[in-house]
Amino acid sequence: MRLKAVVVTVLLAAAISYYVYTPLPDAIQEPWKLMLVDAGFRTCINLVGLKNQLGLDHYITWFRHSLEGSFSTLTALWGSAPPAGVVPGVKVSDVAFAGIPVRVYEPPAGGEGHLRRGLMYFHGGGWALGSAKMGAYDKMSRMISDELNTVVVSVEYRLFPEVHFPEPFLDCAAAAKHFLSPEVLAKYAVDPERVAVSGDSAGGNLAAAVAQEISTDESMSVKFSVQALIYPVLQALDFNTPSYVQNRNMPVLPRPLMVQFWLQYLGADTSLQAQLVANNHSALQHSALTPELRSRLDWTSLLTEKFKKGHAPVVVDRGARGLLKTVPGFLDARSSPLLAGPEVLAKCPRTYILTCEFDVLRDDGLMYARRLRDAGVSVASDYYPDGFHGCLSFTSWPLDFDVGRRAMRGYINWLQKNL
């Protein structure tokens, strides 16, 4: 019996090790920790797939609740983020801006006449997951509010499957315009010359799109003074940029998952995933995708040799017929801010863009930085050669990564100096 128990234990340990192990680039620090994170995500996805096949409820809804429940449990166990309102000096309140739920973080009052910074934040999660209340976002908002004397407004925009594009963008734009109104800024004692918009991943997409919207809206008397984009997703026409190809199987955001997020966001059939991976949706036959539009995301001219890495562009002559007409969101700058014209980019505020080497979205951020600079915008770029997508959300034990802590500090330091 004892021998049988030993054999079973060894076999079980081997099976778990085999399941957890994922080949990772040598530059990734703490690889086993990232493998455990990846194994957790894969387990959730596998369970979601099973539940979806059984027809129990929408897989995204179940996945979202599972993630939020996991974060709540981990927060309770590790104490990474205290309950709302108990951090010394930071007041947290859940209110609505223009009917959109937001969580507001207010630093200690600086005394009469002392105006504070303002920051509007949009969380990531593929326009389907995430919440301002989740541990990582809550912790970051508290840190920024406390350290930088900033009123942080974290927006709870609506998500898939409840809504598709353009609803999340419209939610964020409405909340932003409400926050930037002189009356609301005065209510929160925010300096109208020091208001930022920021977000990560899909939230970075929304932040970039909202910054463009506000910058070109002549009816707005107050505009964002800076935008800070953390590994933003900015285009859906080329899923074969060097970073998409290089990192197609990387945790935490492999290429198939990012393509699925895009299809869901744009209200398209997810069975089209293979077509998008092959760039069939952006074939040369599509007359709507003009040479001018193509140039706005042409990585062969927008990336430096360091990031081209010897890759060749994937351009298809004839592909998925009529797809761009069926799903017009592919060509809408509100969903793909990289497609905006130079006249729009020229009006954008001073910009910070954070990118990571091991991230399918790396080249999106690098191309946007280049296009903004070409349009005359001041751009600061932080590139992490050992970074991976989502690393900024992993700064609390036991899921803390050194690169995540460095990225967080770099982001906060930039806001400190530029906002």
| pLDDT tens digits along 105-114 | 999 875 445 8
Q: Give the residue-averaged pLDDT of 162-189.
A: 98
On average, the pLDDT of the chain sits at 88
Structural domain contains residue 36: no
Mean pLDDT of 285-307: 95
Residue 37 reports pLDDT greater than 90? no
Q: What's the pLDDT at 178?
A: 98
Let me know: does 290 contact 283? Beta carbons within 8 Å.
Answer: no
Which residues are tagged catalytic? 201, 359, 389
Q: What is the mean pLDDT of residues 394-401?
A: 87
pLDDT at 47: 62
Residue 271 lies in a domain: yes
Residue 47, domain member (yes or no)? no
The backbone torsions φ and ψ at residue 295, rounded to the nearest 5 degrees and listed phi first, read -65, -25
Q: How far are the Cα atoms of 73, 303, 308, 314 from residue 311, in angstroms, in the given order?
A: 43, 11, 6, 9
pLDDT tens by residue, 191-200? 999 999 999 9
Residue 55 lies in a domain: no
* Rounded CA separation 227/211 (Å): 7
CB-CB contact of 28 with 401 (8 Å): no
Model pLDDT for residues 309-348, shown as the tens digit of each residue: 999 999 999 887 788 999 999 999 999 999 999 999 999 9
Residue 52 lies in a domain: no
Res 359 pLDDT > 80: yes
Q: Is pLDDT at 61 greater than 70 in this prediction?
A: no
Give the pLDDT score at 55.
58
- DSSP string over 95-128: EEETTEEEEEEEPPP--TT--EEEEEEE--STTT
Give Rg (Cα) of the chain. Answer: 22
Question: How many domains are there within the chain?
Answer: 1
The CA distance from 362 to 380, in Å, is 15
* Interval 20-39 mean pLDDT: 85
> Does residue 10 surpass a pLDDT of 50?
no
- 3-class secondary structure for 45-97? HHHHHHHHHCCCCCHHHHHHHHHHHHHHHHHHHHCCCCCCCCCCCCEEEEEEE
Whether 360 is in a domain gets the answer yes
**Token pair in block for residue 250:** 């990387």
Tokens of 397: 């034990």
Model confidence over 366-380: pLDDT tens digits? 999 999 999 999 999
Domain annotation covers residue 15: no
Stretch 272-287: mean pLDDT: 94
Residue 252 has pLDDT above 50, yes or no: yes
Structural domain includes residue 51: no
Q: Is the pLDDT of residue 186 over 90?
A: yes
| pTM greater than 0.75 | yes
CATH for 324:
3.40.50.1820
pLDDT over 90 (residue 14): no
Q: What is the mean pLDDT of residues 25-33?
A: 89
Per-residue pLDDT for 60 more than 70?
no
Provide the domain limits for residue 404: 83-109+116-419
